[in-house]
Structure 1
Amino acid sequence: MIRYLLDTNICIYLALGQPPQVIRRLNACYSSEVAISSITLAELEHGALKYQRMAQLEIILQRLQVLSFDAQAARAFAQIAMHSTRQRNDMDKLIAAHALSLDATLVTNNEANFAGYPVRIENWAEPAA
């Protein structure tokens, strides 16, 4: 069962191998508990092509399952879009909707981008208290 859906920025941290707390949090999870959205993959592919970092992307993809954005996620997106009062990045709305449809926690270092969405958020990049 998927417990965590990783946002693009967390995947970038994994590719860079830092900050260490992100790596520790991922290593503390079972591989079946963590995934990325196909929407996140699209963002990562774009960045990897733009900055010529395909090898780093492949390292990430070896560790994480990629989940397809399906009809249930599309319905969740419609709900989020209908109730969103601010103009925001549609990619973030799609990723939030995917997490919501899976009843998964969205892991991001951009918490403000998802404020007001009906999705659980964790920030693995914050140092442990």
Structure 2
Amino acid sequence: MGNEYRAKVFKSGNSVALRLPKALGLKEGDEMLLREERGSFIVEPAPVVPKKIDLTGIYGSCPGIKPQHEPGTIVTSTLCVAEALYGITDYDQKVALDRLLTVIEPLPFGMPEARRFPDVPFRRGKLDRFIAAHALATGLTIVTNNEADFADIPGLQIENWTQ
């Protein structure tokens, strides 16, 4: 475990602020994330949101991948986030997912998506069916390297960036 520092909470106008020690080397204007985890507060540098999203760092080198995207042009479903969180086993993976979600917006699964769900052929135990309904309701394309799970869904747009 790294160094521990003591910080002081103080009132600043109508807000409460946290004074951090100079030893951390922070400058005025630096943005930090503060989150609560298991009763502890964790402060870490806020990720910088890039002007372009570079997916090669996430997916590696894939022949069909489009490496640069405008922010807001790639989204995910909150269902995919839930699926990813279920599979996360350590803190570093959770931090990586949190950072990814600062540049890839999770869209909520709501009533329009629920209404499209009956249009999707049912397979027991497949969260992919909900994800497909989400894509159909929003008119978005699913990017996957597991096309077979979605092949039987009429009208669904699918891309595989790994080919």
TM-score, scaled relative to structure 1: 0.71
Within 5 Å, give how 1:1-129 maps onto structure 2: 17-21=58-62, 25=66, 27=68, 29-48=69-88, 50-52=89-91, 53-80=93-120, 84=121, 87=123, 89-118=125-154, 119-126=156-163
- Structure 1 Cα separation of the partners of residues 147 and 67 of structure 2: 18
Gaps of 5+ in 1: 1-13
Q: Structure 2, unaligned stretches of length 5 or more?
A: 1-54
1:107, 1:121 within 8 Å by CA — same for their partners in 2? yes
Are the aligned partners of 1:88 and 1:113 in contact in 2 as well (CA < 8 Å)?
A: no
**How many angstroms does 1:23 deviate by?**
9.8
Contact 1:38–1:69 (Cα < 8 Å) also in 2 = yes
Name the aligned partner's letter for residue 141 of structure 2.
Answer: T
Structure 1 moving runs of 4+ over 4 Å: none
Superposed displacement of residue 22, structure 1: 8.0
> Which of the pair has more CA radius of gyration?
2
**Structure 1 residues 23 and 59: alpha-carbon distance in aligned structure 2, compared to 1, 3 A threshold:** farther
C-alpha deviation, 1:88, in angstroms: 5.0
- In 1: Cα distance, 2:59 partner to 2:160 partner: 14
Q: Write the letter of the residue equivalent to 2:140.
A: A
Structure with more of its chain in strand, by fraction: 2
Change (3 A) 1:73 1:26: farther
SS across alignment from 1:31: coil
Mapped partners of 1:40, 1:15: distance in 2: 20
Instruction: Give the 3-state SS of the residue equivalent to 1:90 in structure 2.
Output: coil
CA contact (8 A) 1:38 1:66 kept: yes
Deviation at 1:89, TM superposition (A): 4.1
The answer to which structure, 1 or 2, has the higher relative contact order (CA under 8 A, 6+ apart) is 1
Alignment: residue pair count: 107
Larger helix proportion of the pair: 1
